[in-house]
Chains A and B, each alone.
Chain A
């Protein structure tokens, strides 16, 4: 299990929600809010590099956040 922590003053909460929705069919993701942070616990299925999957999830959250900040919407 890999834990990803996203600060809500840097990452958009909606971006985290959209990422969880996008990746829930590829991994087991638990979401928890803890103060100013949102914690995602990612468990990859067998045969999948969990570190790489967690990195892609973090990138996706960042991408959606930047798109929202610049007024663009990421195509679903």
Chain B
């Protein structure tokens, strides 16, 4: 039976009980090792102070003996602990590579993608009751000739005064910015 400073094992009725120092073997490593044995034995976890107790009892029909299960559990716990340490050390690298890979694969979003994105319920955030979002050209730009003939100029006085013609300084640049 295993006997070391960090892991202590003892034979119990129909199984084996292992005791791990939690400061050496992280709890997640013990859980991970226990998980790998669930198909072959009954596993129960308990605590005794700072030590985690793992009780293993082989299932019926399993030919592996308790001592072998205990050894397997210890090896798996060590592997799990080591694997977690490697993951922790390389976390930043893995995240960087993964994000770059996904970012490159997706490419930069085009305007249609951005417009098509579901932004959720924004309420009346994009309502424009004052017409602020209307472009200058739409408001004050030159209209096509047919529309211009039919509609009087919006700023034209009602006294019947003729609207200025092309040669008389109708250009917005010449008159300055019109008032809204």
Q: Which residues of B contact A66 (CB under 8 A)?
A: 31-32, 34-35
Given A63-B38, A66-B31, A69-B31, A55 and B46 contact (CB-CB distance below 8 Å): no
User: Is B59 a contact partner of A55 (Cβ separation < 8 A)?
Assistant: yes
Given A63-B35, A66-B34, A66-B35, A7 and B45 contact (CB-CB distance below 8 Å): yes
How many residues on chain B are close to A (CB under 8 Å)? 17
* Interchain pairs with CB closer than 8 A, number: 41
Pick the contact of A62 from B34, B47, B59 — CB < 8 Å? B34
> From residue 37 to 67 of chain A, which have CB atoms closer than 8 A to chain B?
49, 52, 55-56, 58-59, 62-63, 65-66
Give 1 or 0 for each of A4-19: 1 = CB within 8 Å of chain B CB: 1101011100000000
Give 1 or 0 for each of A65-76: 1 = CB within 8 Å of chain B CB: 110010000000
How many residues on chain A are close to B (CB under 8 Å)? 17
Pick the contact of A59 from B32, B38, B46, B60 — CB < 8 Å? B38
Q: Which residues of A contact B100 (CB under 8 A)?
A: none
B140 within 8 A of A: no
B83 within 8 A of A: no
Tell me the interface secondary structure of chain A in the complex.
Answer: helix
Q: Which residues of B contact A7 (CB under 8 A)?
A: 45-47
User: Is A58 a contact partner of B46 (Cβ separation < 8 A)?
Assistant: no
User: Is A59 a contact partner of B43 (Cβ separation < 8 A)?
Assistant: yes
| A7–B46 CA distance with the chains assembled, in angstroms | 7
| A58–B59 CA distance with the chains assembled, in angstroms | 13
B142 within 8 A of A: no
Q: Which residues of B contact A65 (CB under 8 A)?
A: 31
Closest to A59 in B: B38
Q: Which residues of A contact B38 (CB under 8 A)?
A: 59, 62-63
User: Is B42 a contact partner of A59 (Cβ separation < 8 A)?
Assistant: yes
| A5–B47 CA distance with the chains assembled, in angstroms | 11
Q: Which residues of A contact B43 (CB under 8 A)?
A: 58-59, 62
Residue contacts A-B, CB under 8 angstroms, 11 given: A7-B46, A10-B47, A11-B45, A55-B57, A59-B42, A59-B43, A62-B31, A63-B38, A65-B31, A66-B34, A69-B31
